[in-house]
Amino acid sequence: MSIIRKILNKMIILIQLPLVLLFIIFEEVIWEGIARPIYVKIKSLKILKKFERVLENTHRGVILSLFIVIFTIVETAGIMAGVLFIKGQILFGLGLYLTKIPIAGFTFWLFKVTKSKLLSFGWFEWIYNKMMIFFSWLKGKDIYIDTIIIVKSIKEYLKYIKAKYFAGGEFGRRMKKLYVDMKKIFDRR
């Protein structure tokens, strides 16, 4: 019986690891590094403040339809970008993925602004709650916690390297001086 349990545990880890890695890549790299700054910028736009007031008076069905259409476009673009990556069309896939990020930021803003109206649909609230339960479960797994610790230590090390060698360190200053000197030489010709 213990052999079967060990095999099952290994299989569960094999299933958990890709989920955890995908979630961490999304959360740490894409969301924190790219999407959050875009979301903050979108949130601060004056035109969206006016649009927010329009949404307050818009029927919940219209808001749901708008949200589903935009969400579907964003997710389809993400899947298509993944397919392009797999097919070897890296630059096109990257371009498509980078294009979808501002739209995803807008979708996230739309959800935040209209959350109460969207959650007024029972089935939507049920899906949302199940997703939150899943994310809580995933974030509570030891493999997630251990991987986050590793990712954060790598990020801190990279910040240290950047600060030491590129941001204000001697290496950064020497490289900048070399660049300026090379530019002067080539500008003369």
Are the beta carbons of 143 and 22 closer than 8 angstroms?
A: no
Residues 147-186 have pLDDT tens digits of 778 777 877 887 777 777 666 666 667 777 777 777 777 7
Q: Name 80's Cβ contacts closer than 8 Å, sequence gap at least 6.
A: 93, 96
The reply to whether 153 and 183 lie within a common domain is: yes
**How far apart, in whole angstroms, are the C-alpha atoms of residue 3 and residue 152?**
35
Tokens of 84: 């392009």
Q: If phi over 0 gives left and psi between -120 and 50 gives alpha, with beta otherwise, what is residue 59?
A: beta
pTM above 0.85, yes or no: no
Domain termination residue (choose one: 140, 162, 181): 140
Residues 22-79 have pLDDT tens digits of 666 666 556 666 666 777 777 777 777 888 888 989 999 999 999 999 999 988 988 8
Could you list the residue range(s) of the whole structural domain that residue 146 is in? 142-189
Instruction: Tell me the residue type at 15.
Output: I
